[in-house]
Amino acid sequence: MASRSAALLAGLAALAAAATAAGQDYVPVRETAVAETERKAMHEAYYAALQRVLLKVVGYQAHAEVGSRFRRDFDADFDGFKARYFTADTDYRCARQQGGRYLCEVEGGLMSAAVQVDVRRMIEAAEDRVSTQLTFAMSAKDVRDTRKQFVVDALSDAFTRAGHRVLMDGAVNAALARKRVDFGLGIYEVTFSKLDGPGAYDPYDLQLRGALTVRFRLTHIQTGRVLTNTPVAVTASEAGPYPATLKQKLVQDLSRGAAAEIARNVNAAVVSFDAERDANGRTR
């Protein structure tokens, strides 16, 4: 029977899509690898290129459960793997080093859309179709910046589109009493910088630049364990002749960017936590 973490990958894939929605289907790549044989070095360079894109889609899960699945497919059928994810003009070159090992470089293009499609297909192949809906209790009551609502709304939208439930304010207490909350997501700092200060707007290139830092904490409600509390920082810019108009648009862009990063971190943490619980259960 497939683990529950395999089913949770559905939520991870959907939220990762929000993080890469504005990205390209085609991504130029250039990666190197060193190994004892030319073939091994060439293979590792190709996989390094794929893993770089996978990191942008699923965060550190590229080195965990999700990455392991891609690696198994890669090792089983390298030619098929290369044909699916890499453009036809992608090529490699190798040179033997003084120590006898080989250095290979892969350069070309990778189809990131195919990576996202296959993350979703992992779910379709799962034998155990467990419900993937999770309930998150979100709180940002201690944040002083009045623009925090842009961040909260962007996060709520990303999680809701993934099929999860997001509770706030009075609804949280009732759900907690009925033990209907899986995770607590506390946002305790939202700091917009640069866009409010002098020099944020460049009158020569008509660019308004800004940054946003969001500090948050994800907690498993039942155990009280903190799963992640890594701060997220994003930057963005908007071009136009009217700084006042650009500022509102920039705040929204920064909020969506931060929400995408938080969603990726949160879901990678959830999948890892659930995989760990499955492993512990099997051990017991």
Express each pLDDT in 154-167 by its tens digit: 888 888 876 678 89
What's the pLDDT at 1?
40
Indicate the burial class of 222 (C-beta count within 10 angstroms; 0-12, 13-18, 19 or more): exposed
103, 124, 145 - which closes a domain: 124
233 plus 256 within the same structural domain: yes
220 plus 254 within the same structural domain: yes
253 plus 229 within the same structural domain: yes
Whether residue 245 is contained in a domain is answered as: yes
59, 93, 124 - which closes a domain: 124
102 plus 164 within the same structural domain: no
149 plus 58 within the same structural domain: no
What's the pLDDT at 280?
60
67, 101, 124 - which closes a domain: 124
What's the pLDDT at 220?
92
| Claim: this prediction has a pTM higher than 0.85 | no
What is the C-alpha to C-alpha distance for residues 49 and 120, in angstroms, rounded to an integer? 20
Task: Give the count of domains, the chain.
Answer: 2
What is the C-alpha to C-alpha distance for residues 119 and 81, in angstroms, rounded to an integer? 14
Whether residue 230 is contained in a domain is answered as: yes
181 plus 96 within the same structural domain: no
What's the pLDDT at 35?
95
151 plus 54 within the same structural domain: no
- Using pLDDT thresholds of 50, 70 and 90, give the confidence band for residue 243: confident
Whether residue 251 is contained in a domain is answered as: yes
What's the pLDDT at 143?
84
Assess whether pLDDT exceeds 80 at residue 9: no
188 plus 119 within the same structural domain: no
51 close to 81: Cβ distance less than 8 angstroms: no
28 plus 47 within the same structural domain: yes
Whether residue 130 is contained in a domain is answered as: no
Instruction: Give per-residue pLDDT as tens, 92-112.
Output: 999 999 889 999 999 999 988
53 close to 116: Cβ distance less than 8 angstroms: no
In this prediction, residues 37-51 reach a mean pLDDT of 94
Q: Which CATH number goes with the domain that contains 182? A: 3.30.160.150
What is the C-alpha to C-alpha distance for residues 264 and 57, in angstroms, rounded to an integer? 8
What's the pLDDT at 281?
56
What is the C-alpha to C-alpha distance for residues 27 and 32, in angstroms, rounded to an integer? 16
- Using pLDDT thresholds of 50, 70 and 90, give the confidence band for residue 284: very low
- Buried b / exposed e over 17-49, threshold 16 CB at 10 Å, is bbbbeeeeeebebebbbebeebeebbbbbbbeb
207 plus 245 within the same structural domain: yes
Assess whether pLDDT exceeds 50 at residue 64: yes
What's the pLDDT at 54?
81
Coil, strand, or helix at residue 146?
coil
- H or E segment to which residue 26 belongs: strand 26-35
Whether residue 98 is contained in a domain is answered as: yes
Residue 141 domain boundaries? 135-283
Assess whether pLDDT exceeds 90 at residue 214: yes
CA atoms within 13 A on the CB side of 192: 25
Whether residue 183 is contained in a domain is answered as: yes
What is the C-alpha to C-alpha distance for residues 103 and 92, in angstroms, rounded to an integer? 10
Whether residue 249 is contained in a domain is answered as: yes
- Using pLDDT thresholds of 50, 70 and 90, give the confidence band for residue 134: confident
Assess whether pLDDT exceeds 60 at residue 21: no
Contacts 24+ apart (CB under 8 A), 89-96: 90/29, 92/42, 92/45, 92/46, 94/38, 94/41, 94/42, 96/38
Whether residue 129 is contained in a domain is answered as: no
Instruction: Give per-residue pLDDT as tens, 71-83.
Output: 998 999 999 999 9
96 plus 143 within the same structural domain: no
Q: Cβ contacts of residue 66 below 8 Å, gap of 6+?
A: 9, 12, 54, 58, 119, 122, 271
Contacts 24+ apart (CB under 8 A), 33-36: 33/103, 33/104, 34/97, 34/101, 34/102, 34/103, 34/104, 35/101, 35/102, 35/104, 36/100, 36/101, 36/102
Q: Cβ contacts of residue 247 below 8 Å, gap of 6+?
A: 195, 208, 210
What is the C-alpha to C-alpha distance for residues 35 and 88, in angstroms, rounded to an integer? 24
Instruction: Give per-residue pLDDT as tens, 137-148.
Output: 998 887 888 888
Assess whether pLDDT exceeds 70 at residue 278: no
Assess whether pLDDT exceeds 90 at residue 63: no
269 plus 168 within the same structural domain: yes
Please give the DSSP secondary-structure letter assigned to residue 59: G
The rounded Cα 78 to chain-centroid distance in angstroms is 25
